[in-house]
Amino acid sequence: MDRSLLALNVGSTTLKAAIYDLDATHTLVEYARAEIKRETPSEDSLAALLEALPPPRRVPDLVIHRIVHGGTHGQGRELDDTLLAELDNLSPLAPLHQPIALELLRVARARWPDARHGVAFDTSFHASLAPWSRRLSIPAEWDAMGIRRYGFHGLAFTSALRTLAGHDLRTRQGRVVLAHLGGGCSVCAVENGLSRDTTMALTPLGGIPGPTRSGDLDPGVLLYLLRHSGLDADAIEYRLSHHGGLAAIAGHGDMRLLIEDDGPAARLALEVFVVRIAQAIAAMATGIGGLDHLVFSGGIGHRAPVVRERIFARLAWLGLIPDTDRNNAGALRIDRGMGPGIWNVQVDEERELAESAMSWI
């Protein structure tokens, strides 16, 4: 008998859902999907999301939840109360995502108590990080507390690699740099299909600047603010998460408006964004000894050809030869067939959530 699987994905700015039919051979067939703006999850917000879907054929048998921070947990697994408590304890390491995702999870469990609920982690993809990437240059007792590089956007990176392999199997053995640019932004180095390095570390606040997130800072900045600004740690975290990045420079983080704005603040914000991403791509390529493929994804990475074009201009020395027409048209492959492959991918995190359940159902 076929089963119904519901994938729930709490993102930076959206709440997404997809329904799949799952047969006895574990073949997934998409039935419907929906997306709404993210609000504080509640029974009402879950109901609004479900109302955006066509009427389901039945109550879901399986519900899979995206969890940003899984700590040291590997692949996705079925949820139990012990695991839920562990994920609650990780909330301070992903405050923009984890508490909201777990609240939605609790709402869904109450709504469908007879369904099997499972979780998939964005951090799982980075279980293969190189030791020189995983270990931060901090005292050993802090490393023992779990303060290390975890990496994020794992479901998006997995989806991007799945798309690449579907068009060119050689990418599985290549050196691939993935740039996921959206509400959160990170760049990842993949060698022979395994994540080896990535820009985000302990939390999704680090790495390259995003629309509203600061990205990496001199640790002395935080110490200075704690000592002299009158702000406590919670207030500083809020400002860096919601008023950092592009918004800190231009007054907002809407890339569509920044591209059209010729004012000095908008120009500077865009230049900071482009340069930091280009530097991150070069750094990731350095860690894996070169670059065979460069992949863009995310709301900005996939939909903003002007941003991609400016990044290419900074990285011409890496041998990138983009095709301007294909880039402007938003094609899947946007190089000229010379030099490293350049790809523009629309990722499907909901599908990856559903696929993750195949390991435990």
Q: Active-site residue numbers?
A: 122
Q: Are the C-beta atoms of 271 and 259 separated by less than 8 Å?
A: no
Q: Are the C-beta atoms of 154 and 124 separated by less than 8 Å?
A: yes
Beta bridge mates, 14? 37
Q: Are the C-beta atoms of 269 and 249 separated by less than 8 Å?
A: yes
In terms of phi and psi (left: phi > 0; alpha: psi -120 to 50; beta: otherwise), the region of 245 is left
Question: Residue 137: which residues within 8 A CB-CB, separation 6 or more?
Answer: none
Q: Are the C-beta atoms of 266 and 150 separated by less than 8 Å?
A: no
What are the φ/ψ torsions at residue 348 (nearest 5 degrees)?
A: -130, 85
- Looking at the chain, the number of H-run helices and the number of E-run strands are 15, 11
Q: Are strands 3-10 and 28-37 parallel, antiparallel or unpaired?
A: unpaired
